[in-house]
Structure 1
Amino acid sequence: MQPGPEPRVVNDNGAWCWFQDERALVDPASQTLVVGSIAAAEGPGGEARSGNVELAVVDLRTGASEVVVLHERLEADDHDVPALWRRSDGRWLAVYTRHKTDDLTRWRVSEPDDATRWGPERTFDWSALTGGRGVTYSNLRAVDGRLYCFARAVNDDQCALVSDDEGDTWAYAGKLFTRPKVGYVNGYTRYAGGAGERIDLVTTDHHPRDFDNSVYHGYLEGGVLRRSDGGVLDPEALQGEAFSQEGLTTVLAAGSEWGGERISHCWTTDIRRSGDGTVAAVLTARFGGDPEERFFRKRPVPDLRFFYARLAPGGEWQVSEMAQAGPGLMPHEEDYTGLAAIDPYDLDAVYVSTPVDPGSGERLAHHEIFAGQTADGGASWTWTPVTENSDVDNLRPIVAPGDPSRAPLLWFRGSMTASQHYACEIVLLDRVR
């Protein structure tokens, strides 16, 4: 990969959560990069800008960028970040929600080939289905010629809206899986598209602060929800009563041992699928100690770990410990990490945000971004620093898909004390392969 320019700021106030996709996307024809984020009161613009749902629209040929506001002061919460879709007519689609504080999925459609000009906001009201308990997250994926928007909604389960006109209108499709709720919500799910008519996913049982989660994998194909090996869990997915995600394939099991230490409270981070059917995921878990002691916060949480999981065609998973993720990012969110991103066009390449050098094991003053490369399916890695000696944290990297000839790496840097409070700027390091 050829070296690109130094990282440049594309939005001076913003952050994102990681259960929405695509949060950043490239139009290969116009070489336009669009990345969504939420502004906070602690950043430039202060309270007047707090909660803005924003898009940074970047011309990758010139480096020029413009910030567009989709919704002014929706809510100061990184969970509200939009999911993006590039339509066949050249328009962009952006879909977003609040963080469980109302029941509306919102969306806007751009003018043709112009991500800076947008039509009016429209809404889908979930309240008749949720009983007014709220909706969170948006994930746009297409399968069988239909566009799906996956959200956490009814019973805080994974549900879907469906559109047959590329997002002009939406209807309720159904619930993907379900189980009795424990604590705050049910499973946390990441979705991957890619070549072929299927949507892959990894999911958990509940929130890791409420439950000793495992991580499960399955895929939606032809209206059927299948396990990793193709076995059927739900022959009529999104119709009628849904099955529990426990019936999917276990990828990373709570209670399993790695290096003689027990892992627990697993969580999902990223998932990608390549054109040959290979699936890769990055997962996290608490490492070592008694999970019940940590569950009830009787002592500090041990370090978290990143795990890399690779599914080859045929249904067999290879899982390896990849890197230390450090302690929890926030005292009240002990399972939050700096996150990691898989290159959507090279499943052997990842980018991690960690306060521990994955090559040397040295503890660092701040979260730094490292590029990792594997030649053996994740069993071993070589690491190269992307950032070094920073005076602030570098968090939540994304590699924006859309153009296989480029690897636009995005992250935000600054200070973050909660999902609602941060002073961060969004930077881009654009690289040509």
Structure 2
Amino acid sequence: MSTSQGGDPFSVADAQIHSVTDNGAWCWFQDERAIIDTAGNRALIGAVASRGGKDGDRRGGDIDLHVVDLGSGAAQTVVLHAGLESDDHDDPALWLRSDGRFLAVYSRHKTDELTRWRISEPGDPTTWGPEQSFDWVGDLFGSREAAEAAGGGRGVTYQNLHQLDGVLYCFVRAINDDPCYLVSRDEGSTWQFGGRLLHREKIGYVNGYARYASGARFGGFGQGPDDRIDVIITEHHPRDFANSIWHGYLAGGSLHRADGTVVSALGRGLEDPTPRAEDLTRVFASGSTWGGSVMTHAWTTDLRRFPDGTLVAILTARADDAVGTGTARPAWDAPADEFEPIAHRFFRGVLRPGEDKWEVRELADAGPQLMPHEEDYTGLASIDPDDPDALWLSAVTDPRDGRALDRHEIFHGRTADGGESWTWTPVTERSEVDNFRPIAIPGDPSRQILTWYRGGMKASQDYDAEVLLRVAGRG
């Protein structure tokens, strides 16, 4: 892998940066977390306010939707659910319906059994109808005893909205902490249990971490048809298992490997035999060697599908890990000098149309873990939804020259040779606080619209962060 510092058509001079909120953040296993409302020239950004942030005693746990005017930068905050839970895992997934109404779906972080949703007024993301919910115990089993007998009753987490053959899917980590899904035939007004996608016996905390991608993104305004949904997934949590990464896709009523081989029918009930992640196509192998380092404990970061069928994925992995899975987790507030830093790398994978083998290349240094008790948290990266050769990442090492930085900074990267080399342009520089978890917001191909948050994180439940929005033309 080589890098360059010049020649990137990334637009800098006309960029506008707006402060969206002084208390907000998000996890990365929900989508879409932010979308562009082109009709209203607005960005819609979901976030969760923290008890550790500004006015946290009053706002902590609020599930917020920030509606930002892309012309003036003025932001209005709509509280979808006040005080639900101070946890960035509760971030809402957003969808634009064909009738102009917006849909927001969210849940707590394994502390109850409800998938919650609200629907806006037509064309108005600031006015919302009442909250409704699907109960993964009561609606699905009728009793907690029956749910627990089937591996349920452990709480649900994460919501991901994608359309397939005119049916809206909501993928949720639910029964047995497996990837399951709800389906809606009325664009999210009502939901029913659709099936369990994959299943396995648990090791440690939870089962696989999935990222999903489809052509008809955020309400049919995406690029491409709604004929398939792709998924990349791990076996377990990386702190409990030296994960590889696997890929499959949903189409024509079945789950497939990358080469089109049918793995199983969709709509698998909880008592039906269900495939494992390893039954899919392997994208990245734990234990593989890259640049003389052995990579393990891979984790899924981002996935996008483009109009011609190209899939692009971003992954992370530990480099030459000496910690493994048999160690006690440090306390969340352990001093930094009391835990061993674990080196991580970013990787980029591409699956081209008509091919069944992923092309994976090392992308950049992802740095040490962000906090002592989360060995695999990094600054993360986001694929440009309108350019498969571009992305943004957060790193504490400058990808241009390998220089150590004082803080996590955001960089824009672009490749002109399939990922062999990259041109990097800083988005933030010499920051006084860290910059985390960029999201390249889909919905407006004419502009590059990026959101991220900056500040400090003690835990997913305790952070002090400001959300920013950057709007720029395409060079």
TM-score, with normalisation over the residues of structure 2? 0.89
Q: For the Cα contact (< 8 Å) 2:49–2:60, is it kept in 1?
A: yes
Q: For the Cα contact (< 8 Å) 2:239–2:324, is it kept in 1?
A: no
Q: For the Cα contact (< 8 Å) 2:248–2:280, is it kept in 1?
A: yes
Q: Give matches, 1:68-83, under 5 Å.
A: 68-83=78-93
- In structure 1, the residue matched to 2:300 is 268
- Aligned-pair CA distance for 1:46: 2.1
Q: For the Cα contact (< 8 Å) 1:410–1:428, is it kept in 2?
A: yes
- Aligned-pair CA distance for 1:378: 1.7
- In structure 2, the residue matched to 1:173 is 194
- The reply on whether 1:312 has 2:352 as its aligned counterpart is yes
Amino acid aligned to 1:66: Q
- Aligned-pair CA distance for 1:238: 3.7
Q: For the Cα contact (< 8 Å) 1:5–1:429, is it kept in 2?
A: yes
Matched residue SS, 1:7:
strand
Distance 2:311 2:445 in 1: 17
Distance 2:321 2:156 in 1: 35
Equivalent position to 2:128, from 84, 94, 118: 118
- Aligned-pair CA distance for 1:6: 3.6
Alpha-carbon displacement from aligned partner over 1:36-56 (angstroms, at most 9, x marks no partner): 000012222221110000011
Distance 1:402 1:167 in 2: 20
Unpaired segments ≥5 residues, structure 2: 1-9, 142-146, 216-223, 331-338
Matched residue SS, 1:347:
coil
Unpaired segments ≥5 residues, structure 1: none
- Aligned-pair CA distance for 1:63: 2.1
Q: For the Cα contact (< 8 Å) 1:286–1:301, is it kept in 2?
A: no
- In structure 2, the residue matched to 1:361 is 402
Alpha-carbon displacement from aligned partner over 1:375-419 (angstroms, at most 9, x marks no partner): 122222111111000010000000111121122100000011100
Structure 1 outlier segments of 4+, above 6 Å:
296-299
Q: For the Cα contact (< 8 Å) 1:304–1:327, is it kept in 2?
A: yes
Equivalent position to 1:31, from 14, 36, 41: 41
Q: For the Cα contact (< 8 Å) 2:209–2:300, is it kept in 1?
A: yes
- Aligned-pair CA distance for 1:5: 3.1
Distance 2:413 2:385 in 1: 14
- Aligned-pair CA distance for 1:133: 1.1
Alpha-carbon displacement from aligned partner over 1:4-61 (angstroms, at most 9, x marks no partner): 3342111111000000000000122221210000001222222111000001101213
- In structure 2, the residue matched to 1:204 is 234
- In structure 2, the residue matched to 1:214 is 244
Alpha-carbon displacement from aligned partner over 1:213-243 (angstroms, at most 9, x marks no partner): 0000111111111111111111345453321
Q: For the Cα contact (< 8 Å) 1:318–1:377, is it kept in 2?
A: no
1:301/1:254 CA distance change after superposition, 3 Å: farther
Equivalent position to 2:173, from 152, 160, 166: 152
Distance 1:162 1:379 in 2: 40
Q: For the Cα contact (< 8 Å) 1:212–1:266, is it kept in 2?
A: yes
Amino acid aligned to 1:53: I
- Aligned-pair CA distance for 1:295: 5.6
- The reply on whether 1:300 has 2:340 as its aligned counterpart is yes
- In structure 2, the residue matched to 1:428 is 469
Matched residue SS, 2:388:
strand
- In structure 1, the residue matched to 2:273 is 241
- In structure 2, the residue matched to 1:278 is 310
- In structure 1, the residue matched to 2:159 is 138
Matched residue SS, 1:350:
strand
Amino acid aligned to 2:305: R
Distance 1:156 1:294 in 2: 21
Matched residue SS, 1:155:
helix
- The reply on whether 1:400 has 2:454 as its aligned counterpart is no
Equivalent position to 1:96, from 85, 103, 106: 106
Greater Cα shift, 111-120 or 224-233: 224-233
- In structure 1, the residue matched to 2:76 is 66
1:90/1:289 CA distance change after superposition, 3 Å: closer
- In structure 1, the residue matched to 2:392 is 351
1:96/1:415 CA distance change after superposition, 3 Å: same
Q: For the Cα contact (< 8 Å) 1:368–1:388, is it kept in 2?
A: yes
Q: For the Cα contact (< 8 Å) 2:194–2:267, is it kept in 1?
A: no
Greater Cα shift, 412-421 or 194-203: 194-203
Query: 1 or 2, which has the higher strand percentage?
Result: 1
Alpha-carbon displacement from aligned partner over 1:56-82 (angstroms, at most 9, x marks no partner): 101213322101100000000000000
Greater Cα shift, 60-69 or 10-19: 60-69
1:295/1:247 CA distance change after superposition, 3 Å: farther
- The reply on whether 1:106 has 2:116 as its aligned counterpart is yes
Matched residue SS, 2:371:
coil
- In structure 1, the residue matched to 2:428 is 387
- In structure 1, the residue matched to 2:214 is 193
Greater Cα shift, 375-384 or 140-149: 375-384
Matched residue SS, 2:421:
coil
- In structure 1, the residue matched to 2:218 is none
The number of aligned residues is 433
Equivalent position to 2:375, from 334, 351, 364: 334
1:278/1:332 CA distance change after superposition, 3 Å: same
Distance 1:286 1:263 in 2: 5
Alpha-carbon displacement from aligned partner over 1:224-276 (angstroms, at most 9, x marks no partner): 11111111111345453321111111111100000111100000000000000
- Aligned-pair CA distance for 1:292: 3.5
Q: For the Cα contact (< 8 Å) 2:195–2:266, is it kept in 1?
A: no
Distance 2:25 2:38 in 1: 25
- Aligned-pair CA distance for 1:289: 4.1
